[in-house]
């Protein structure tokens, strides 16, 4: 009887551990999808969609990323001109821009419930519309993702845009 009870207790313990681990990996998968979607929306621009005065195109970029970030972060990104970067590069270089993430590392934020620190690389492609030349740039990035209600959103973001500085002159 004691052996049966021991086996049942062990099975229950393993089930609880398994459920906890699968929830964590599920959260990490959701966080990765969020980062991928955000980077894609922030940087992907078609040159043909940009008018001479690009303010409306920049506002459209703001709308695209709004579901991915907190309201505070969206305001900071707007204020710092972060949402305008890809639109301005596209307009100046007459290029389409695409972006993907790779080498994503998700780590639970120490001591904070429902929060993950994420590091990744952003691969940006600038595709010239005249000669179809493709220039690729790799930028490191980091984010903090938090859960608000039942939704994961990006709370903090950083990326090193020095690679793209050739377009800022």
Give the integer Cα–Cα distance in Å for 123 and 87.
17
Is the model's pTM score more than 0.75? Answer: yes
Average pLDDT (64-75) is: 96
> What pLDDT does 161 receive?
79
Average pLDDT (124-144) is: 91
| N-terminal to C-terminal alpha carbon distance within the chain | 79
What CATH code is assigned to 2-167?
3.10.450.230
Instruction: Report domain extents, the chain.
Output: 2-167
pLDDT digits (tens, 9 = 90+) for 4-60: 555 454 444 444 444 444 456 889 999 999 999 999 999 999 988 777 778 888 899
> Minimal CA–CA distance to 102: which of 67, 56, 136, 59?
136
> What pLDDT does 169 receive?
59
> What pLDDT does 20 receive?
46
Give the integer Cα–Cα distance in Å for 124 and 137.
5
Give the integer Cα–Cα distance in Å for 14 and 6.
12
């Amino acid at each position: 009887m004691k052996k049966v009870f021991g086996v049942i207790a062990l099975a229950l313990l393993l089930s609880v551990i398994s459920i906890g681990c699968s929830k964590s990996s599920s959260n990490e998968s959701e966080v990765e999808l969020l980062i991928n979607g955000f980077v894609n929306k922030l940087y992907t621009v078609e040159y043909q969609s940009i008018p001479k005065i690009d303010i409306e195109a920049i506002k459209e970029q703001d709308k695209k990323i709004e579901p991915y970030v907190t309201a505070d972060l969206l305001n900071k990104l707007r204020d710092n001109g972060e949402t305008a970067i890809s639109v301005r590069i596209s307009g100046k270089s007459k290029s389409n821009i695409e972006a993907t993430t790779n080498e994503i590392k998700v780590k639970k934020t120490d001591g904070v419930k429902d929060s993950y620190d994420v590091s990744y690389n952003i691969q940006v492609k600038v595709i010239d519309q005249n000669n179809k030349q493709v220039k690729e740039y790799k930028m490191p990035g980091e984010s903090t993702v938090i859960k608000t209600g039942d939704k994961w959103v990006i709370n903090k973001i950083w990326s090193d845009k020095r690679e793209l500085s050739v377009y800022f002159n």
